[in-house]
Structure 1
């Protein structure tokens, strides 16, 4: 099927690549299906694109590439909701807030996107332990003005 996207124009997707967010994501409860689209010439960043609304696309990244000590527990309700059986089936992404200059770009570590690659179920999990915030610089040693 073809969908219109925020960053890639019209693209062809297949059903097996659709991620199902049964309860939507915070701020977008009606958006229940997304695909991950690669960025050209880039292995680090990708787009989490709504299959229904072309203007809804989030830049995502594997947070462990930037935050080696990032660690949290997935609560039992989420494990059950996503039907997670093995840790190896879990993929974790952080949504980025892209800034200009890029050195001001931040990752939301308080609300990771949890995905079960076994069944394509996904959820944005809100961590309430106070350890992480919604804005962590991904280039922590950059000298940012302003």
Structure 2
């Protein structure tokens, strides 16, 4: 099927690429169908593109690429809701807030997106009882500054 996207123009996708977010995303509860698209050739950045609203797309990344000590505890309820049976079926992403210059871009570590790739089901969860915030720099602002690279203090 043809899909009009925010960043890539019109592209062709397959039905099996569509991810179901049963409850939508916070503030976008009516948006329940997305597709995950590569945004960079190095497979570090992706686009979570709405199927129904071309202008709704989030740039996301695997948080472990930038924050190797990032920890997310997934509740039994979420595991059940997403039909997760094996850990290797799970992909975790964080939404980025793009900044100019790009080196000032931040990641929302407080609200990761969990996707069961085997079942094509996703959910954004809020880590309310953690030290993670909505804006963690993904790049060190100063050489040798590991606090910004590691996320939570």
Tell whether the structures are fold-level matches, with TM greater than 0.5. Answer: yes
- Whether 1:61 aligns to 2:54 is no
**Match for residue 8 of structure 2?**
8
1:60–1:94 Cα contact (<8 Å) kept: yes
Aligned residue pairs: how many?
143
The runs of at least 4 consecutive aligned structure 1 residues that moved more than 4 Å come to none
CA distance in 1, matches of 2:140, 2:57: 25
Q: TM-score, normalised by structure 2?
A: 0.89
CA distance in 2, matches of 1:17, 1:38: 12
Summarize deviations over 1:75-131 as a string: whole Å, max 9, x none.
Answer: 111111001111111100011000001121000100000000110000001111132
| 1:95-110 → structure 2 map (5 Å cutoff) | 95-110=95-110
Name stretches of at least 5 consecutive residues in structure 1 with no aligned partner: none
Name stretches of at least 5 consecutive residues in structure 2 with no aligned partner: 144-153
CA distance in 2, matches of 1:40, 1:88: 23
| 1:1-146 → structure 2 map (5 Å cutoff) | 1-142=1-142
Q: TM-score, normalised by structure 1?
A: 0.94
The alignment yields a C-alpha RMSD, in angstroms, of 1.2
Summarize deviations over 1:5-32 as a string: whole Å, max 9, x none.
Answer: 1001111111110110000000100100
1:40 Cα shift?
4.8
